[in-house]
Amino acid sequence: MTVRSLTNRSAAARILFICSISLLFTDPFALSIRDPEVPSLNGDLTAQQPLQRHTGRLRGPDPLQYQPLAAEEGAIPRQDASQQSHAYPSTYTALLDALEVMESHFFETSMGTWPQAIDWTAAVMGTQISATLSSMTEYFKSLQSGSSPLSPNESRDHENLINRYFTQIACFYFGENAFSLRTQAYDDMLCVDLGWLEAIKFIDLHSSLHYAEDDDDHSNSSRWYARQFIPPYAHRARVFYNLASKGWDTDLCGGGMTWNPYLAPYKNAITNQLYIAASIGMYLYFPGDCNSSPFAANQGLPPAKAHDAQYLNNAVEAYKWLKGSDMRNKQGLYVDGFHIKGWRGGRDGSNGTEKCDLRDESVYTYNQGVLLSGLRGLWVATSVRQYLLDGHELVQNVIAATGWEDRDTEREWRWAGLGRGGVMEEQCDWSGTCSQNGQTFKGIFFHHLTFFCSPLPKGHDDSALHQQSCDGYADWIRHNAFAAYITRNEKGEFGEWWGRPSPKDADEDDKDDTVGMLPPISVGTDYRNDGVPRDEIWRLPEDDAMYRPWKYGREVHEQSKWEEVSAVEEPRQHDINDRGRGRTVETQSGGVAVLRALWKLVESRQEGR
């Protein structure tokens, strides 16, 4: 980890103090957000009472006031509605509650970050918060312009809530470990770029919806205060994009992004997909940057303009390479990536075959998601329908690989490639051995699916076809939102293995419904959860650590293994999602992401919002 200078620490401390003071004036509990007739998680319309003041966290009405679960056929195939011991709130209320838990349980204002997150997952957390704020401000606007406009107090409360969470994003700019991230892998750098572009998108959206700017107002009093953050956010996005772009390499495989400059060349799906999404994001949303720091050889960075065609060209070229790379398996899913046979770089300088000819067959959920944002952006920039068609083909392959057709059948427990019974699953979920990487992946997928399936401009030739396809995913999205929601414990924290209900009552049966379930079919090298192997395929020849006796990957702790209840023991509560790392900010972000997908893509559309 890079040690920051005392000067930087002092500056950050001063800003974080200001952030803390700002949060004091944003009362998180003086809220009465009106949630009129919004659709519930079960698809019914449930009239909601205003959110009430509640010590410690936001809540909607008492759970007993909710309508009981009445899911569509196959929504949660593992348990009938009549067996559920709890009922469900509206989707929007559930989303607000999940977001509140994510921030009140895991964000530390004095540090400006989520302390339990690692550098790249913290960047993803910021992205998820900014995207959720965009959904919230759109809903806020729909209520203001509805048939029953908000009262001044209600408008104030909505704005207060949005400002509360945005202030945390502002704090995170200083809490983010930007210096260390500059020395990490290229995919980590690109996550930083996408995170600050997402924040800029939110600021622009909220400003345009709620702050009509006056050209004659030279004091800027009519502008939303947060617009002052756009220049530093844009600069950080630019710096990290430029750093990551050094990973593009044409000497091996004819192109493609290399994952990590400190390891043997590995051209993987996630780094290339992030590069596509970041490149088109820079083209569409980067507002330009005149900040010349950091200095190199006494020369600062030249000014960067908005909508630079080079960003678009990079995205087009990168997707062309990825599409032709043979990085998809027979199910149409992206496998993890390619090594180069015979590569022995470093001291002897051999590039081997110079071809991507050693394919790692590992399949991760996020490798199917990030590209969706890139494809949507490419369509926005070019109006080429094929980008949308490729995205829908990938989404449909993902749904099939979760075993969607197996739900409510005797095959519902069958591992289908990316889940079972229609519920998305990471291979490490079954064993409870997911690292912070693996715990973040499903949330990343649903974040990018939400952007991809957002409605196109009305009247465009592709709009109806795109919307028809996205509407076809509604039941699957709701199915996964249910599966995620029932993992919540008594604190409202989501678990990593969706579809595994959390015992909430002391006398509740803790029957293990995984008995008889076969583990996922393991293929490839699970380096995202077990660590990078220390061998000549993955490591540089000069890496002395490669030759040390060492079993690659982290050891699985005993507490991460699921233990059966002995017949001679007293009955005790078990929660399968408490294994391993348990409930974390990463698993909570997955709950936020899938609930936002359900709200934005399904429920709000049904309400015409």
Q: What digits encode the pLDDT tens for the residues 12-45?
A: 454 454 464 444 444 333 333 434 333 445 443 2
Identify the weakest region by mean pLDDT among 273-287, 424-438, 510-524. Answer: 510-524
Query: Residue 294: what pLDDT?
Result: 78
Q: Is the pLDDT of residue 47 over 80?
A: no
Please check whether residue 56 is in contact with residue 29, taking contact to mean a CB–CB distance below 8 angstroms.
no
Q: What is the mean pLDDT of residues 525-546?
A: 85
* pTM of the full structure: 0.84
Residue 5's pLDDT band (cuts 50, 70, 90): very low
Q: Which one-letter DSSP state was computed for residue 325? A: S
Percent of the chain beyond pLDDT 90?
67
Mean pLDDT of the region 545-551: 47
Task: Indicate whether 406 pLDDT > 60.
Answer: yes
Between residues 307 and 67, the one the model is more confident about: 307
Per-residue confidence (pLDDT) for residue 543, from 0 to 100: 74
Q: Are the C-beta atoms of residues 144 and 79 closer than 8 Å to each other?
A: no
What is the phi/psi pair of residue 541, to 5°?
Answer: -55, -35
> What is the number of H-type helices and E-type strands within the chain?
17, 5
Task: Categorize the per-residue pLDDT at 345 as very low, low, confident or very high, splitting at 50, 70 and 90.
Answer: confident
Token pair for residue 197? Answer: 């572009």
Asked whether the predicted pLDDT for residue 77 surpasses 60, the reply is: no
Residues in the chain: 609
With contact defined as beta carbons under 8 Å apart, do 116 and 585 qualify?
yes
For residue 10, the model assigns a pLDDT of 45
Rounded Cα gap, residues 48 and 88, in angstroms: 12
Least confident of 234-248, 407-421, 502-516: 502-516
Residue 51: what pLDDT? 27
- Residue 289, classed as helix, strand or coil, is strand
Q: What pLDDT is stored for residue 607 in this prediction?
A: 66
- Over the chain, what is the mean pLDDT? 82
> Sorting pLDDT into bands at 50, 70 and 90, what band is 605?
confident
Q: Which residues pair with 257 in a beta bridge?
A: 248
Asked whether 170 and 19 are in contact (CB, 8 A), the reply is: yes
Q: What is the mean pLDDT of residues 464-485?
A: 97
Q: Fill in the DSSP letter of residue 29.
A: S
CB atoms within 10 A of CB 61: 18
How distant, in Å, are the alpha carbons of 268, 313, 355 from that of 255? 12, 14, 10
Q: Which residues contact 45 (CB under 8 A, 6 or more apart)?
A: 37, 38, 39
Is residue 303 over pLDDT 80?
Answer: yes
Q: Per-residue pLDDT for 555 more than 70? A: no
The answer, yes or no, to whether residue 79 has pLDDT greater than 50, is no
Flag whether pLDDT at 609 surpasses 70.
no
85 in Cβ contact with 504 (< 8 Å):
yes
Is 363 a residue whose pLDDT tops 60?
Answer: yes
Q: Which pLDDT tens digit goes with each residue over 371-396?
A: 999 999 999 999 999 999 999 999 99
DSSP letters for 476-489: HHHHHHHHHHTT--
Could you say which DSSP state residue 601 is in? I
d(CA 146, CA 546): 63
Assess whether pLDDT exceeds 70 at residue 87: no
Residue 536's pLDDT is 87
Model pLDDT, residue 18 = 47
| pLDDT tens-place string over residues 169-222 | 999 999 999 999 999 999 999 999 999 999 999 999 999 999 977 655 555 677
DSSP β-bridge partners for residue 328? 334
Q: What pLDDT score does 580 carry?
A: 95
